[in-house]
Amino acid sequence: GAVVSQHPSWVICKSGTSVKIECRSLDFQATTMFWYRQFPKQSLMLMATSNEGSKATYEQGVEKDKFLINHASLTLSTLTVTSAHPEDSSFYICSTRSVAGEAYEQYFGPGTRLTVT
């Protein structure tokens, strides 16, 4: 299967600061990347879908000005949590699907655990 990396794997930041999370597809071109958030003991919640070269599509209830997504190339998407607050503490996971894989599985990155103090 495809390889997706995320950086950093965990981060602790102070309230009010911004944090950038990178998601890279290492062995294929990802026209579409998905950003999920998962709170403890809950399932994945899709935050937004990013398409290379265009604006991301955000799910209802997700603030686009707070969670900035940039998908500048076919191998890199970034999620920036701006003015982070303790309630933003969560497990953030990116996922991609290959150019040829409409029906294929999504490949997940290892996740980034964000703790806001």
Partner 1 sequence: GQNIDQPTEMTATEGAIVQINCTYQTSGFNGLFWYQQHAGEAPTFLSYNVLDGLEEKGRFSSFLSRSKGYSYLLLKELQMKDSASYLCAVKDSNYQLIWGAGTKLIIKP
Q: Given the rule CB under 8 A, which residues bind partner 1?
A: 1, 34, 42-44, 46, 91, 93, 102-111, 113
Give the residue with the Cβ less far from partner 1, 87 or 102.
102
Q: How far is the CB of 94 from partner 1 (least distance, A)?
A: 9
Q: For residue 8, which of 116, 117, 111, 115 has the smallest C-alpha distance?
A: 111
Report the C-alpha gap between 29 and 100 in whole angstroms.
Answer: 9
Q: How far is the CB of 10 from partner 1 (least distance, A)?
A: 10
Give the residue with the Cβ less far from partner 1, 63 or 105.
105
Q: How far is the CB of 102 from partner 1 (least distance, A)?
A: 6
Q: For residues 75 and 24, is the Cβ–Cβ distance under 8 A?
A: yes
Give the residue with the Cβ less far from partner 1, 81 or 93.
93
Q: For residue 22, which of 74, 82, 88, 69 has the smallest C-alpha distance?
A: 69
DSSP letter for 54, please: S
